[in-house]
Amino acid sequence: MSPIARPDTKTLFHIDLTWFEKSGRDLRAEMHAALCAECRALYPTPADARPVDRVNPQTGEVTRVDALWECLADHCGHQPEYITPATPLTTAIFRALLANGNNPMSPEQLHQRIGKSNPIAILKVLLSGEVQNGIVPVGD
C-alpha cells in the first residue's frame, strides 16, 4: 500500500460539481452571481443561459458548454472588478476556478491568478477542514 500524498502548493484543486448537489446549493446560481453586469444583462436568470458552442483556438475542436461558464471564462474573468483586493480569499479562489472553466489549478497558480495572499496561505484555506464552494483536491 502506497502512502497518501499530503497536498502541497503544487497540488491541483477543482470545484467538485457533485458537492453542490449534495450540499443543497445551486452551482448555476453561484455562477450567475459571479457574472459581470454586462453578462448578467445577457442572462437575467441562470435559466436564460443555454449551452453554446465553444471552439478551442489551438485544436479547432467544438464543444458544447454552459453559457455561464463561457461568460465567466471569456469575459467576466478578464474584468478588473471580477477579483479585487476587497474580494474575500475564498470567493477569489472560487471565481478563479470558475473563470478557468474549472480546469484544476494549484495554490501557486491560484496565487498568480488572484494576486492575493500567498500559495501556502491559499493551501491552508483549501485544507481548512470544511470544504468551501466545493473546492477539493483533484482525485478526491
Each residue's pLDDT tens digit, 5-21: 789 899 999 999 999 99
**pLDDT tier, 1 (very low <50, low <70, confident <90, very high otherwise):** very low
Which residues lie closer than 8 Å to 48 by C-beta, 6 or more apart? 42
pLDDT at residue 124 greater than cutoff 50: yes
Task: Report the pLDDT value the prediction gives residue 44, as an integer from 0 to 100.
Answer: 95
More confident residue, 118 or 131: 118
pLDDT given for residue 107 in this prediction:
97
Model pTM?
Answer: 0.88
Confidence of residue 63 (pLDDT cuts 50, 70, 90): confident
More confident residue, 78 or 56: 78
What cell numbers appear for 40 in the block?
A: 448578467
For residue 47, which amino acid is it? A
Say what the pLDDT of residue 90 is: 94
CA distance 138 to 140: 6
- Asked whether residue 2 carries a pLDDT value surpassing 70, the answer given is no
Question: Residue 14 and residue 114: Cα distance in Å, rounded?
Answer: 15
Half-sphere exposure of 54 (CA within 13 A, CB side): 16
Dist. CA 72–CA 100, nearest whole Å: 8
